[in-house]
Amino acid sequence: MADYAGDFADSGNINWLPYVMYFHPFGYRSDTVSTDTSGFRYTEARDRRYSVADLGGVDAVRVIAGSSTVFGIGASRDRHTLAARLTENDPRPEAWVNFGGRSFNSTQELVLFTLNKHRLPKVEEIVLLSGFNDLGLARLPARMRGEHGAFFMCRDFFDAMSRKKPSTFTSWLRGRGEREEDEPPPSMAEQIDYAAGLTLRHLDVWRALAADMGATLTYVLQPLANWVRATGSREEEALFAELEQRGSFTQTYGDILAADTHRTYAQRLRAGAEGMGVRFVDLAPVIAAEAAPDRWLFVDRIHFTDDGHDFVAKLMLRTLTGG
């Protein structure tokens, strides 16, 4: 986790890019993580390495897209990410390529795929594992959310723009009917409504893209530790306690961790996804039904350990293939 915090955190060695705002370091190499020349993480499995920009003549792939959980924060090596464990445990021949973007919202996930779709051969399957970031960002002021959702570090972006072109930025705010000071955060019901609506709007575009490519599409609501079980393993609880001393996750997102929030959000997403003909999987109860109470799955409330990645990948394959 220290390796990720050094170069892949907001203050790290990230690249500022058009359209997606920011992305991982290019051509990065360490004992923990490696990226290709475009910043995509490698999938290491079956004695090979694959990435979006380095497929080496592969004829067909399966895609797992999302944010930091898909990217693999918490994995000690490239061979322990979800994409790698899916590839290693999947009896089907196609490798899973990693379309995860750290700290991405659903807008950025979609844009990243559309900008790089041309790199891919035949795509057999797309799994979009996402959901937390849109909900976590839904509490930001309306002027930051705009039409397409807030993004992490957006305060830095808007502050910089207001200093660079203050008259233009002020006119933009006035045109939106917004004051520059922040309004009170919306209620949890309003946050769920906003996040679900944004996610489903983008999922409909994923649906059209998948249909055009002849690929199956599944939306998987990513699991949070508290959505899986109220009390984690001994190791998880020790880590959560230490992380709370260093940060304020539960102070900021504690209401999202509540069971009622999970239930309502999942119901909204399931109804919308299935209404447009997209398969929906809520992964938290799937894990809860299979994981022993003392099994150490999470390295923080969002990301998995190596064993957690492998365990969850096997459950996902069983759910996706009906095995």
Instruction: Using DSSP, state whether 235 is helix, strand or coil.
Output: helix
Q: Residue 229 CA to chain centroid, in angstroms?
A: 20
pTM for the structure as a whole = 0.91
Pull the structure tokens for residue 282: 């809520």
Q: Would you give per-residue pLDDT tens digits along the chain (323 residues)?
A: 888 887 887 777 778 888 888 899 999 999 999 999 999 999 999 999 999 999 988 999 999 999 999 999 999 999 999 999 999 999 999 999 999 999 999 999 999 999 999 999 999 999 999 999 999 888 887 777 777 877 776 666 666 666 766 655 455 454 444 454 557 788 999 999 999 999 999 999 999 999 999 999 999 999 999 999 999 999 999 999 998 888 777 777 788 999 999 999 999 999 999 999 999 999 999 999 999 999 999 999 999 999 999 999 999 999 999 86
**How many separate helices (H) and strands (E) can be counted in the chain?**
15, 9
> In sequence order, what are the residues at sequence separation of 6 or more whose Cβ sits closer than 8 angstroms to the Cβ of residue 260?
none
SS3 44: strand
- E strand or H helix at 187: none
**Domains with residue ranges and CATH for the chain:** 2-139+188-321 (3.40.50.1110)
Distance of CA 85 to the CA centre of its chain: 17
